[in-house]
Amino acid sequence: MTQFYDAHVHPPVAPLLDGPLEPYLGGLQTATGKVVEAIEPAELANHYRSRNGRALLLGWDLETSGNRRPFSTADVAAIVAGDPDVFDGLGAVDPAKGALAVAQVHEAARAGMKGIAVHPAAQGMGPADRLASPVWEAAAEYGLVCLFHTGTTRLGFGSPGGAGVRLAAGDPIHVDGVAARFPELRVILAHTGPLWQSEALAVASHKQNVFLCPTATTPTEWPGLVDAACGPLGERMVFGSSYPLGDPEALVKGWRESAVPDDVVERIVLGNATELLG
């Protein structure tokens, strides 16, 4: 029986590590103290299956900003198809591609993805940019979830100019306008906006179609998370580890040992994501 749903997993497979993440791996490993090595999809599936977990795999497309081959929707779909009892997927979309980005949304829907994943800071385009609006419109029409990486990022950590990554695009307040314009669009604020956590809480509290994913975080690491989880936002909070940089088992344990009531914890680590993603 599934014990937790990890709604934020970057599968450490060769197409991702040698593709869009390759220029950033050194900084990521320095920032986290973890060495990330490529594994086979079956090994990743066994990692979650042996822990009675389920994982949502995120596609990555930084082609416009980084000129790297994307970890595409097709790549994600192939991994999901190999172990559908363990994996779901989010398609890769680069909003800066304009019409091609809308085509990527269509591709994600056809491939059976649960939604799409974007990284505004790394992609160099804020959610409120007019060029991106057709992407959110198409996702809403298909009923796809949109996951936005928000807050600061370890991409470009410690490098000159932060490897060109501009943190301002990760401010979750930019997602507020998207959620307002497309109230039928379900939005996940991944990482819950470090640097702007109060903004993330305000946006999610104000917009019922916005969900919080305090990725790689336990209640002891963020003052105020317990109060947020115990209030109405506990109904719209989903668990995420940012695996392989975060340890899903340890993070789930942190939630279950926190001051958050047991029934709320179970919704956060499993129930809410199950309802949101079907």
Contacts of 110 (CB under 8 A, 6+ apart): none
Contact 151, 170 (CB under 8 A): yes
- pTM of full prediction above 0.85: yes
What's the pLDDT at 31? 84
In the chain, the number of structural domains is: 1
> Is omega for the bond preceding 232 within 30 degrees of 0, making it cis?
no
Q: What are phi and psi of 129, to 5 degrees?
A: -60, 135
The 3-state DSSP class for residue 117 equals strand
Contact 171, 150 (CB under 8 A): yes
Extract the tokens encoding 23: 């220029």
Element (H, E) at 258: none
What's the pLDDT at 103? 98
For CA atoms 18, 24, 29, 30, the dihedral sign is positive
Give the separation between CA 118 and CA 123, rounded to whole angstroms. Answer: 8
pLDDT tens readout for residues 238-270:
999 999 999 999 999 999 999 999 999 999 999
Give the CATH number of the domain where residue 168 resides. Answer: 3.20.20.140
Give the separation between CA 254 and CA 246, rounded to whole angstroms. Answer: 12
pLDDT, block means (10 residues), the chain with 278 residues: 97 97 89 91 98 98 93 98 98 97 98 98 94 97 98 88 92 97 98 94 97 94 90 97 96 96 98 96
DSSP track, 192-257: T-TT-HHHHHHHHHH-TTEEEE-TT--GGGSTTHHHHHHSGGGGGB-----BTSS-HHHHHHHHHT
What's the pLDDT at 159? 87
Boundaries of domain holding 80 = 4-277
Contact 101, 126 (CB under 8 A): no
Give the separation between CA 160 and CA 41, rounded to whole angstroms. Answer: 34
pLDDT tens readout for residues 154-202:
888 888 898 889 999 999 999 999 999 999 999 999 999 899 999 999 9
Torsion of CA 119, 120, 122, 125, to 10 degrees: 140
Give the separation between CA 49 and CA 66, rounded to whole angstroms. Answer: 34
DSSP track, 131-153: GGHHHHHHHHHHT-EEEEE-S--
Vertex 228: Cα angle to 119 and 185 (nearest 5): 45
